[in-house]
């Protein structure tokens, strides 16, 4: 399973879809590597990219905190 597949799997969660202010077709078109401007999506993306990449847990946590402060 690729990183983008994992991202798409998160987007299938009804609780996450409920929180997004987007249509179903907009959500289905999203990609892990596209800018969304949505805090929840950016946190999910940072987590997927950070935990599967070379980033440390601390680095991943800092990125998530930056998204939440915006």
Number of separate domains in the chain:
1
Could you tell me the pLDDT band of residue 53, with boundaries at 50, 70 and 90?
Answer: low
Beta carbons of 13 and 41 less than 8 angstroms apart: no
Beta carbons of 39 and 64 less than 8 angstroms apart: no
Q: Is the pLDDT of residue 62 over 70?
A: yes
- Model-level pTM? 0.75
pLDDT tens for residues 12-51?
999 998 888 888 898 889 999 988 888 889 888 888 887 7
Tokens encoding 63: 């990125």
Domain hosting 45: range is 3-69
Q: How much is the pLDDT for 54? A: 67
């Amino acid at each position: 399973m690729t990183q983008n597949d994992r991202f798409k799997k998160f987007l299938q969660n009804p609780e996450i879809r409920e929180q997004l202010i987007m249509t179903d077709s907009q959500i289905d078109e999203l990609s892990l590597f596209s800018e969304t401007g949505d805090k929840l999506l950016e946190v999910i993306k940072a987590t997927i990219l950070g935990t599967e990449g070379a980033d440390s847990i601390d680095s991943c946590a800092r990125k998530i905190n930056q998204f939440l402060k915006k």
